[in-house]
Amino acid sequence: MKIKQLKNVPSALFRYFILIGLSFLILYPIFVTVMISLMQTSDFTNSAVRYLSLSPTLENYKTAAIFLQYGQTLLRSLALNVPLCLLEIVSCMLVAYGFARFKFKGNGILFACVIMTLLIPSSIYFTPFYLSLQDYGPFHWNLLGTPLPLFLMSVCALGVKNGLVIYILRQHFKAYPKELEEAAEIDGAGSFRVFVSIMLPGAMSIAATCFLFIFVFRWTDPTYTNIFLPDTEFIWTRLSNIQTDMSLLPGVEQSDFYFRSILKNTSIVLYAIPLVVLFIFTKRSLVESVETSGLVG
Amino acid sequence: MRFVNRKSKSVLATRRDNKGYLYVAPFALGFIFLVLFPMIQSFIYSFNDLLFDGQVHLNFSGLANYRRALFEDVEYRQLLLSAVRDMALSVPVILVFSMIVAVFLNKNFPGRAVFQIIFFIPVIVSSGIIPELFENDLVRTAIVSAPTVSEEAVSSFDTSSMSALLISLNIPVALVNYIMQAIGNILEIVNSSGIQILVFTMGLKSISPSLYEASSIEGATAWESFWKITLPMILPQFVVNLTYTVIDSFVNNNNEIMQSINAYNYSRFDFGYAASLAWMYFAIILIILGVFVGLVNLFSRHYK
């Protein structure tokens, strides 16, 4: 037994070597961003400073918050995204349950359509949908500039990369033994009851993980939102403005690229805060959903 | 049970299974009305000149849009070629890389949960608008890439001597160059493997440990059990990751072609032309994905 353990030492060392190296690659850019956000412009020209500012300051965060109109845009972005993501996770779970536990005719073809939604460049179906929005349905509604199309897409599990989420959840639901379901049905439980009281309790951690996915996808890729709501200022709209427009800040030279860099890095930290918070809350589920994915199978 | 074929499925079971329609209905309806119909429409657009003034006016122009894209638009052809080349080169690297990391993470060792969390971070930071902002931040780039003392020591380990060593071992030059290029792009590879690693780890977890026990009693080495057990068991995850990798880099809205299509759509309002560009791109993605999936199928037939 001892010898076997000793034999594993080199391979364990090798594993740590590789994993730590890769983790460094991942964490280093984040470290640099946070460090820059604490700097002052004078630190860039000081050769003694590489990462840590001589006089670290949180002043940048105040400036960036003014620039992003942080409180306002953050609330607005969350007020749109959180309901959308909640709708998406609910509809994705129901759809995945339908695909996983019922062998209806056309199951395979419809599921292929789920994968297809991932594959089709969104601009193919987006334009006609977008053009029809001005005069939508039998009542000729003008839906452009309203969040309604976004909600419609979320209800139908057609949000950003929802296909992937449906796939993951379907894999999860497929792993439950058939007997569990049958026993409940003999006792008179309907299929929705089975979903709520048998499937759901075991799916909480994977659902939390998928919610994290959905939220991250939506937060970092606001293309849809920008197309449907072009005139509303969200936090990402302000963020992309850093490139062109710092005029909101009084007393700042447009060409001051040192300051622009500080502002950019600080703003990105602020922008990522909701993601970090959600990540902290769901990281346990993230690990758990990987751990337990074997147990039900 | 094996002899009960589909046709003799009981009425009760069919009635139960038909309830499934209820659950997938939101998606099915959404797909038909928000994806399929618009897709057909956009296919029609691609053969027309399109004028939009509150109402859509179509002007049939045959293959003119496609001809324009392929023979007149210098930019599109180049973008397409480079996108296809990048896709063909990067997809295998990302898949192999995330598989290796997932296998590493699959063993039980202290600190595994921490690594699992770290490897998910790229999903958060490296997609969407954040990398775009970093791209033209010269000040930041200077800080990130300035050499330190330790890096100078490392760089004395020259990659060219490494590749010379590999070539002298009779490994094909093209393969060596490919590997070296992958090592050079390691950051990008790590950044685009977050989801794939997670999907693979979930797949690996669901393989019953008794399979490995049995094989090690039979005297199989770790290497053998990887090829004979691990790989065949996670082929479904492999196909999903393959699809996802293709999507992630090529149907992503950051992709240059997607951006140029979006530009034709939403700032130049040249909808007909944009539709033809998108359809050609879609066809190419399908072909390449088909080739990849075909290769995987060929490989999996090996096990049957």
What DSSP line would sit under B109-121, residue for residue?
-TTHHHHHHHHHH
| Contact check, Cβ <8 Å, B133/A240 | yes
Q: To the nearest 10°, the Cα dihedral for A41, A44, A46, A51? A: 110
- Chain B residues 60-99 within an 8 A CB cutoff of chain A: none
What is the average pLDDT across A133-138?
70
Residues 177-196 in B contacting A (C-alpha not used; CB under 8 Å): 186-187, 190-191, 195
Q: Is B294 at the interface with chain A, CB within 8 A?
A: no
pLDDT interval class at B156 (50, 70, 90): very low
* CA-derived radius of gyration, chain A: 24
Q: Count of A–B CB contacts within 8 Å?
A: 273
B123 inside 8 A of chain A by CB = yes
Phi, psi of A69 (to 5 degrees): 50, 55
User: B207-243: b or e for each residue (b if 16 or more CB lie within 10 Å)?
Assistant: beeeebeebeeeebeeeebeeebbbebbeebbbbbbb
Region A268-297: mean pLDDT is 79
Task: Judge if ipTM > 0.90.
Answer: no
Average pLDDT over residues A155-167: 89
**Average pLDDT taken over every residue of chain A:** 83
Q: Which residue has the higher pLDDT, A94 or B58?
A: A94
The tens digit of pLDDT for each residue in B43-78 reads 888 888 877 776 677 778 878 888 888 888 888 888
B171-213 confidence digits (pLDDT tens)? 788 888 888 777 777 888 888 888 899 888 888 887 888 888 8
Q: What is the pLDDT of residue A295?
A: 46
Q: What digits encode the pLDDT tens for the residues B250-260?
A: 777 667 788 88
Q: Is the pLDDT of residue A62 over 90?
A: no
Euclidean distance between CA atoms B287 and A296, whole angstroms: 36
Helix B74-106 to helix B256-266 angle, to the nearest 10 degrees?
130
Rounded to the nearest angstrom, the minimum Cα separation between B233 and chain A is 13
Geometric angle at alpha carbon B112, from B106 and B117, rounded to 5°:
105
Q: Which of A32, A99, A129, A131 to mutate to test the interface with B (most CBs of B within 10 A)?
A: A131
Touching check for A90 and chain B: CB below 8 Å? no
pLDDT-based confidence at A255, cuts 50/70/90?
low
**Torsion on CA atoms B276, B279, B284, B287, rounded to nearest 10:** -140
Greater confidence, A3 or B240? Answer: B240
pLDDT score of B150 more than 60: no
Q: Which residues in chain A are contacts of B115 at CB distance < 8 A?
A: 19, 23
Which of A30, A91, A128 is the closest to B41 by Cβ? A128
CA distance A192 to chain B (A): 9
H helical segments located in chain B: 11-18, 20-30, 37-45, 64-67, 74-106, 112-125, 129-135, 138-145, 149-155, 159-168, 173-184, 186-191, 194-205, 209-217, 222-225, 231-233, 235-250, 256-266, 271-301
Facing B140 at nearest CB: one of A32, A243, A276: A32
pLDDT band of residue A251 (cuts 50, 70, 90) is low
User: B29: pLDDT confidence band, cut at 50, 70 and 90?
Assistant: very high
Q: Give contacts of A 36-75 with B, CB under 8 A.
A: 36, 44, 50-51
Stronger pLDDT, B179 or B2, i.e. the higher one: B179
How many other CB atoms are found less than 10 A from the CB of residue B263?
Answer: 12
Binary contact (A110, B289; C-beta < 8 A): no
Q: Is the pLDDT of residue B157 over 60?
A: no
Q: How far apart are CA A266 and CA A41, in angstroms?
A: 13
Distance from CA of B218 to the nearest CA of A (A): 17
Least confident of A103-107, A111-115, B120-124, B152-156: B152-156
Name residue A77's amino acid.
S
- The token duo for B88 is 């063909």
> What digits encode the pLDDT tens for the residues A184-215?
888 888 888 888 888 888 888 889 989 998 99
Q: Which CATH number fits domain A61-291: 3.30.365.10, 1.10.1840.10, 1.10.3720.10, 3.20.20.20?
A: 1.10.3720.10
> Which residues have CB under 8 Å from B296's CB, separation 6+?
B235, B238, B239, B242
Residue-wise pLDDT for B231-279, tens only, equals 888 888 888 888 888 877 777 766 778 888 888 877 777 788 888 888 8
Q: Identify all chain A residues contacting B56, using CB atoms and an 8 Å cutoff.
A: 131
Cα-trace Rg, chain B: 25
Non-local (6+) Cβ contacts of A81 within 8 A are A215, A218, A219
Q: Where are the domains of chain A?
A: 61-291
Average pLDDT over residues B283-287: 87
Q: List pLDDT tens digits, range A75-87.
A: 999 999 999 999 9
Output the pLDDT for position B243. Answer: 84
Choosing among B103, B105, B139, B201, which should be mutated to test the A contact, i.e. which has the most A CBs within 10 A? B139
- The rounded Cα B58 to chain-centroid distance in angstroms is 35
d(CA B132, CA A273): 18
Q: Which residue's entry shows tokens 């990067």?
A: B90
pLDDT beyond 60 at A297:
no
Q: Which of the four pLDDT bands, split at 50, 70 and 90, describes residue A245?
A: low
Q: Is the dihedral of CA B174, B177, B179, B182 positive or negative?
A: negative
Tell me what pLDDT residue B133 has: 75
- Among positive and negative, which fits the CA dihedral B118, B119, B123, B129? positive
Q: Does B51 contact chain A (CB < 8 Å)? A: no
Amino acid occupying residue A280: I
What's the whole-number mean pLDDT along residues B15-33?
89
Residues 205-264 of A with CB under 8 A from B: 213, 216-217, 219-223, 227, 236, 239-240, 242-243, 257-258, 261, 264
Residue A261 to residue B139, Cβ atoms within 8 A: yes
Cβ of A22 and B119 within 8 Å?
A: yes
Q: Dump pLDDT digits (tens) for B69-115.
A: 888 888 888 888 888 888 788 888 999 999 999 988 888 888 888 88
- One-letter amino acid for residue B292 of the chain: F
Give me the pLDDT at residue B149, please. Answer: 47
Tokens of B234: 């996670």
**CB-based burial label for A250 (10 Å; 0-12, 13-18, 19+):** exposed
Q: Is the pLDDT confidence value at B144 over 80? A: no
For A287, the closest of B42, B101, B116 (CB atoms) is B116
Residues 98-117 of chain B whose Cβ lies under 8 A from any Cβ of chain A: 101, 104-105, 107, 109, 113, 115-117
